[in-house]
């Protein structure tokens, strides 16, 4: 349904996204996960035809977002991060207007507007001016706006931002209910949100896709251990045995043991621990030379960790 190939976009000297490629099947719910400023919104804006890409192609329902923008826009419901609502209109009038410009036929328009309001639970405020609505209601009006013409593809930028926990649950349930009939891409920087709503996750960091998998697989990978790389000058066997005895060490593997008396090791410990101090002390106390000690670069985990720390603040 959505096919993105080598998409890049520059803003002046800043590369917002670089060489992003992914595919989304019909009826799938896919989550864009990444910290703020990762390029989620830029990718979505290109898909919706709001801004063109610098290079690369993107197709929605077989239409190129650049060449056949109007065809793509007919098939997309888009909710930007800030709900694009006109404060001086009532909910009714606003959704009617959106339905009109989305090309909904006059005969079914009223019905479609009613359905959309029903789906997101704003029927009770339909006669109110949007400027008098709370943030949560405005967010839902924004969601109704994306749904009103029954689009094949829904693109939701941070759909739960600014909602209270109860509303967040409702919106998540709503999005889950859209699976099958609609293809959904939603962006979020909240890890559990994707595991709750999405069938597949695309993790974006600094403008690049760093991982793409099901939420379960990614969580399993996240639970992996801390790893340190060490290079020690000393007898390989003794070093390994001694370090194995350091409390907290789960596993040691010898990467390289040259004849010159140096040994390179990878030390694993459980997630969240830092054994560098203990390991260094042990090596020095034994009179060996510590040539290197560094944590293994784990970009995916880094991203996740970032997300997890942010999530703790909003966890309920």
Partner 1 sequence: MRNFAAILEREVKSYFLSPLAYVVIFFFLAVSGIFFYLILSNFVEMSLRATMQAQMYRMMPPKLNVNMMAIRPMLHNMALFALFFLPLVTMKLYAEEKKTGTIELLMTSPVTDSQVLLGKYTAAVVLYTVMLALTFVYMIFLFIYGQPELGPILSGYLGLFLLGGAYLAFGLFFSSLTENQIIAAASTFAFILLFWAIGWVSGFVSASVGRVLEYFSLIEHFDDFAKGVIDTKHIVFYLSFIFMGLFLTYISIQSARWRGAK
Residues that bind partner 1 in the complex, under the rule CB under 8 A: 9, 11, 42, 45, 48-52, 70-71, 73-74, 76, 78, 80, 82-89, 93, 97-98, 100-103, 145
Residue 222's φ and ψ, nearest 5 degrees, are -65, -35
Distances (CA, A) of 114 to 86, 110, 142: 19, 6, 15
Task: Please tell me whether residue 243 adopts helix, strand or coil conformation.
Answer: helix
Q: How far is the CB of 82 from partner 1 (least distance, A)?
A: 4
If residue 284 lies in a helix (H) or strand (E), which one and from where to where?
helix 276-285
Least distance between partner 1 and beta carbon 107 (Å): 13
Give least dist CB 44 to partner 1, A. Answer: 10
Residue with tokens 């260094």: 280
**145/282 with CB nearer partner 1:** 145
Least CB distance to partner 1 at residue 121 (A): 21
Least distance in Å: CB of 22 to partner 1?
20
- In the complex with partner 1, the residue whose CB is nearer, 47 or 190, is 47
Q: Give 82 or 238: the residue with its C-beta nearer to partner 1.
A: 82
Give the β-pairing of 183-188 and 200-205. Answer: unpaired
25-54 b/e (C-beta count within 10 Å ≥ 16 → b) = eeebbbbbbbbeebbbbbbbbbbbbeeebe
- The pair of structure tokens assigned to 200 is 């597949």
**Closer CB to partner 1, residue 76 or residue 236?**
76
- In angstroms, the CA 268 to CA 154 distance is 43
C-beta closer to partner 1: residue 10 or 286: 10
Rounded to a whole number of angstroms, the minimum distance from the CB of residue 186 to partner 1 is 16
Q: Which is nearer to partner 1, 87 or 254 (CB)?
A: 87
Residue closest to 163 by CA, chosen among 198, 126, 120, 131: 120
């Amino acid at each position: 349904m959505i096919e993105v190939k080598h998409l890049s976009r520059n803003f002046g000297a800043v590369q917002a996204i670089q060489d992003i490629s992914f595919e989304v099947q019909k009826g799938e719910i896919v989550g864009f996960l990444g910290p703020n400023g990762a390029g989620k919104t830029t990718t979505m804006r290109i898909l919706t035809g709001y801004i063109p890409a610098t290079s690369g192609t993107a197709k929605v329902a077989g239409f190129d977002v650049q060449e056949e923008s109007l065809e793509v826009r007919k098939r997309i419901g888009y909710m930007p991060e800030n709900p694009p609502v006109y404060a001086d209109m009532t909910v009714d009038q606003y959704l009617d207007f959106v339905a009109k410009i989305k090309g909904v036929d006059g005969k079914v328009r009223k019905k479609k507007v009613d359905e959309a309001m029903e789906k997101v639970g704003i029927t009770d405020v339909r006669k109110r001016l949007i400027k008098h609505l709370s943030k949560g209601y405005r967010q839902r009006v924004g969601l109704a706006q994306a749904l009103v013409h029954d689009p094949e593809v829904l693109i939701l930028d941070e759909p739960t931002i600014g909602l209270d926990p109860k509303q967040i649950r409702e919106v998540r349930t709503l999005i889950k209910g859209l699976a099958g009939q609609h293809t959904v891409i939603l962006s979020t920087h909240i890890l559990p949100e994707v595991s709750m709503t999405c069938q597949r996750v695309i993790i974006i960091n600094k403008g690049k896709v760093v991982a793409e998998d099901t939420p379960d697989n990614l969580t399993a990978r996240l639970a992996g251990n801390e790893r340190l790389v060490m290079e020690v000058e000393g007898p390989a066997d003794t070093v390994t045995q001694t370090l194995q005895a350091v409390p907290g060490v789960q596993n040691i593997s010898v990467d390289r043991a040259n004849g010159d008396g140096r040994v390179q090791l990878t030390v694993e410990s459980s997630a969240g621990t830092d054994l560098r101090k203990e390991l260094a002390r042990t090596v020095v106390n034994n009179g060996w030379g510590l040539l290197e000690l560094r944590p293994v670069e784990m970009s995916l985990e880094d991203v996740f960790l970032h997300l997890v720390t942010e999530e703790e603040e909003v966890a309920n």
